[in-house]
Copies of this chain bind each other. A is one copy, B any other.
Amino acid sequence: MLKKYLKRLLLGSALGLGGLLVLSQPAFAEETVSLEMFTINNTWMLVSAFLVFIMHLGFATLEAGLTRSKNTVNILFKNVMILSIGLLTYALVGFNLMYPGEGSWILGQWFGFAGFGIGTDAAGLTSAYNPGYTYWTDFIFQGMFAATCATIVSGAVAERIKLHSFLVFSTIYVALIYPWLGSWKWGGGWLDGLGFYDFAGSTLVHSVGGWAALACIIILGPRFGKYSQGQSRAIPGHSMPLATIGVFLLWLGWFGFNGGSVLSADPGLVSYVFVTTALAAAAGVVGSMFASEFMLKKPDLSMVLNGSLAGLVGITAGADVVSIPSAIIIGLVAGALVVASVIFIDSKLKIDDPVGATSVHLVCGIWGTLAVGIFSPDHSFLTQLLGVVAYGAVSFVSAFVIFSIVKAVMGVRVTEREEIRGLDIDEHGMEAYAGFQIFSTEG
């Protein structure tokens, strides 16, 4: 039996060679970590990967809960697909676009690509970015991230987008745009060189997703009946328990999203990031509660749910570099901001975003990125602003162009009849609650 264990260890070492060999390469010789430390780091990164995985269930339930039951199958379907497409395309091209490695850059660190497919022999040996874990761990952690970006769009375009048009757009965006833009900072591209800071993706993930969401819903237009005679009509979601489950799962996943972005199990940093993340989320809840009582005159559950996400998005850029009081302030502001933003976008701009994705991910993503320049003494506000603008311009324009092409080629919006009946029947031929019976009702 022991032989089996040793054989596995050996095989494991061979498979993990990408990571382990790095340790013995000249460049790293003086800072080798022990096999034990390598194993702990790697284990924590895998735990973080499965936590980020959970966020996809969080998005699926949150979006389903905040929309109507006649479109629930459609939303669930999109979320299952996007995760899967995201992982597969990240293996095919995304990973090597995002982490091209030293030799593969062109256009002065604006673009790089290390070739198709993944494998430890590939040119894109990203373990070179740090000695903390294997190539495979790197891929799976980053792959789980990639899919979250496209999922942000899914909620905003809900209840009126054609299924196949959404899938085509998302595939292109997650396969090409997200990783290309990610390379600018995390891949070691031009913005990294300028000192722009985004710890875990307030901008690289959330704003990049949020800008795409904004571009798409501008093109799509509002849901049928949403605005009439200059008035916005509230269209409540069909299940607050589902939405609440979603938010708790997203918060949970964020411990891996931010905690894993330390890129090692470093005890001080990971635990500090846990604390700033949790306190910012809690402060986001409290901030949005007060804002909701003040602006809406009631303690609105959906606002408070979005408030916790706002706090989380807000702290994501600087979770490792701001103080505890700053983390709480960032969360409080994000929580208030998201309430104001949801009201403003809905009532003033008259842009229809069923789940508030642009307010949560785009607005608070910008806030969090700028907050690094405000609260961290080591980072420049102007550089942060430059990053926000650069990412905003390119991601919005890219999404707008791609979605416009999709619109021209195959159309993006279901018919009015389909929209009224619900996408579940016409796009999927099934209902979310077909066998649902309530026998007795109880006062």
Contact = CB atoms under 8 A, between A and B. Distances in A.
Contacts of A431: 236, 240, 439-440
A255 B431 CA distance: 30
B225 A84 contact: no
Contacts of A79: 244
A46 B239 contact: no
Interface in A265-302: 265-272, 274-275, 278-279, 281-283, 285-286, 289, 298-302
B130 A269 contact: no
Contacts of A298: 427-429
Contacts of A266: 8-9, 12-13, 16, 39
Interface in A231-287: 235-242, 244-245, 247-249, 251-252, 255, 259, 262-272, 274-275, 278-279, 281-283, 285-286
A262 B435 contact: no
Interface of A is mostly: helix
A123 interface: no
A235 B435 contact: yes
A68 B268 contact: no
Interface string A77-111: 10111011101100100000000000000000000
Interface of A: 1-2, 4-6, 8-9, 11-17, 19-20, 27-28, 31, 34-40, 42-44, 46-47, 49-51, 53-54, 56-57, 60-61, 64, 67-70, 72-73, 76-77, 79-81, 83-85, 87-88, 91, 117-119, 128-137, 139-140, 143, 163, 188, 225, 235-242, 244-245, 247-249, 251-252, 255, 259, 262-272, 274-275, 278-279, 281-283, 285-286, 289, 298-302, 304-305, 308, 320, 324-325, 328, 420, 425, 427-443
7 contacts: A4-B130, A36-B40, A53-B278, A70-B439, A136-B272, A240-B430, A436-B438
